[in-house]
Amino acid sequence: MKNIKQLAEITDKSSYTHVIYMSEKQEELSTEAKKFLEGFPGPLLVLGQNIEQLSNRFSFITLKNEDINSDTIEYPTRKLKNILEEERTIKQLDTNGTILAHALRGNNTYPLIVQQNNSYYVATSNLFDWISYYIGESLFSYFQQKPETNKKLAYLRLEDVHPAADTYQLKEIAELLKEKKKLLTLLKEKKIPYMITVIPVYTDPDTGKTLHLKDKPELVDLLRSMQDDGAAIIMHGYTHQFYDSETGEGFEFWDVKTDQPIRQPKHEKPKTKDDFPNIEAYNQYVKKGEEFEEKYTTDHIEKGIQELVDAKLYPVAFEAPHYTMSQKGYEILSRYFSTYVGQLQLSDTTWKSMHSPAYRSTPSFLHGMKLMPETVGFIEEDKPQAIAKMKANALSVAKLSDGVIGAFYHPYLGVKPLKEVLKDLESIPNIEWIDLQKEKNEVKMKDIHITTNKDGIHVEKPTSANDIIDYIKQYGFFLILGFVIIVFLLLLKRAKKLES
């Protein structure tokens, strides 16, 4: 990714196969930039401003003086029509090119994504909400790629399970999914694998008391059983908090109070340049903060993996609490996990800018991690239309090329709403549930190595005291019986010797 003003620094322009130019503000393009963009022989995608300065290549577009605001868009060839969360500004234009997507206002339609040959234009620089998904759909044409599958891929994630979770409610849900799995297997149809996001430590903000997984053996036994039934364990942070909020409510890898990366202990207020006598002192402070973030993030990731593995719960992917994490955090995380689930924080400017594409991908700032996107949201308590909204989103995502229907559900809502969610999702034609346990994933930390493939989970780890205790629990009767038999045979042999 380069700023258009850095074009002169690029010496190997001929090596590019595709070019995307996006601008959020009106500015004068240099002669060199215009010459490069208009003369580029490969596919060119332009988003937002300054399209009028490329009038030779984009002669099929004529901009009008006034922009429009729209909260509804449609993609006719995919039979999609979606309402945006808020109105977005769209550049108004006429075109004799192919209109891939429209923006709607009242009874009028306006071009949103247009194409002629290998030149593409998106009449907004906004990349959020359904506009992003529509742009993603147009990229199949732009890159001349076909979808990888005709199946409608989906996953269900049980969210925020921690040592203080209601074991009874979770057990009810586990039984429902298990029975569903049995029934579908019996009918030789699809089964429903699922994911569970687990937080190893719970902290009560009122008492300061902490609960670890080892403190709740009944929960661990249930989670192991669910894991054995095909549930993929997703590590959802270590404590799901940084300040003193309740586990499950707080942010762990982002300082939400100052809206910046965590680079100092929670009781310290971050400093600015004005707090230092010179730039050298400030730079030293910044370096110290970066070192703090590295250690804090590393410690929490490693402690989380260790506690899960000690409980024989083997994480196959990671999800950041509230989807918030700094760019450095993602880099650190990639040293341990190959797979990330959920949405992504897009920059260190603010945690409020987060998104994920509609399909699986490997964003560059994930440093090799693959992204399993969350796309259709969750069921909010006391929101009567929540299930209907999730179903509508799922039906739309199912129409996108390689779209992943990624949903999550909080177990504290009980079994009844989940039954309705499953019924709605299963009604989508050609749906196929993603089984993360049977896909290629890798988690590595020191001498712990977890991998998954078509044969399931494989774990390499040193033998612990817990392993020995579990072995004794499982085989103790036979060990004692064997010992008694050996003693009996020795005594019998001795008795025969005495007789002789």
How far is Cα 43 from Cα 70, in angstroms, rounded to an integer? 28
- Res 204: pLDDT: 82
How far is Cα 430 from Cα 152, in angstroms, rounded to an integer? 6
Q: Do 135 and 266 reside in the same domain of the chain?
A: no
Q: Do 120 and 171 reside in the same domain of the chain?
A: no
Q: Do 120 and 179 reside in the same domain of the chain?
A: no
Three-state DSSP state, 440: coil
DSSP annotation of 280: H
Three-state DSSP state, 154: strand
CA-nearest of 52, 457, 64, 39 to 230 is 457
How far is Cα 36 from Cα 34, in angstroms, rounded to an integer? 5
Domain edge (last residue) among 117, 142, 167: 142
- Res 187: pLDDT: 34
Torsion, CA 54, CA 59, CA 63, CA 64, rounded to 10: 140
Q: Do 241 and 363 reside in the same domain of the chain?
A: yes
Give me the residues paired with residue 68 across strands.
90
15 found inside a domain: yes
407 found inside a domain: yes
Q: Do 200 and 69 reside in the same domain of the chain?
A: no
Q: Do 92 and 168 reside in the same domain of the chain?
A: no
- Res 469: pLDDT: 58
Domain edge (last residue) among 460, 478, 494: 460
Q: Do 196 and 90 reside in the same domain of the chain?
A: no
Domain edge (last residue) among 142, 177, 211: 142
The CATH number of the domain holding residue 422 is 3.20.20.370
DSSP annotation of 9: G
How far is Cα 75 from Cα 144, in angstroms, rounded to an integer? 18
State the total domains in the chain.
2
- Res 381: pLDDT: 86
CB of 340 closer than 8 Å to CB of 318: yes
Alpha helices in 311-374 (DSSP H): 327-333
Sheet with 448-453, strands from edge to edge, namely: 441-445, 448-453, 456-460
- Res 304: pLDDT: 97
**Whole-number CA gyration radius for the chain:** 28
Q: Residue 131 belongs to what H/E stretch?
A: helix 129-142
Structural domain boundaries, residue 118: 4-142
Burial of 186 (0-12, 13-18, 19+ CB in 10 A): exposed
Q: Do 285 and 404 reside in the same domain of the chain?
A: yes
477 found inside a domain: no
Q: Do 64 and 83 reside in the same domain of the chain?
A: yes
Q: Do 84 and 204 reside in the same domain of the chain?
A: no
Supply φ then ψ for residue 251, to 5 degrees. -100, 140
308 found inside a domain: yes
218 found inside a domain: yes
CA-nearest of 65, 26, 85 to 389 is 85
CB of 198 closer than 8 Å to CB of 159: no
Q: Do 99 and 173 reside in the same domain of the chain?
A: no
Sign of CA dihedral 243, 247, 250, 251: positive
* The token pair that represents 428 in the structure block: 């989508």
- Res 94: pLDDT: 96
441 found inside a domain: yes
492 found inside a domain: no
Q: Do 418 and 279 reside in the same domain of the chain?
A: yes
493 found inside a domain: no
| Predicted confidence pLDDT, tens digits, the chain (500 residues) | 667 766 766 767 778 899 999 999 999 999 999 999 999 999 999 999 999 999 999 999 999 999 999 999 999 999 999 999 999 999 999 999 999 999 999 999 999 999 999 999 999 999 889 999 999 999 999 999 999 999 999 999 999 999 988 888 888 888 888 776 654 443 334 468 899 999 999 988 788 889 999 999 999 999 999 899 899 999 999 998 887 776 777 899 999 999 999 999 988 898 989 999 999 999 999 999 999 999 999 999 999 999 999 999 999 999 999 999 999 999 999 999 999 999 999 999 999 999 999 999 999 999 999 999 999 999 988 888 999 999 999 999 999 999 999 999 998 888 889 889 999 999 999 999 999 999 999 999 999 999 999 999 999 988 765 655 565 555 566 667 777 778 777 777 777 777 66
How far is Cα 171 from Cα 417, in angstroms, rounded to an integer? 15
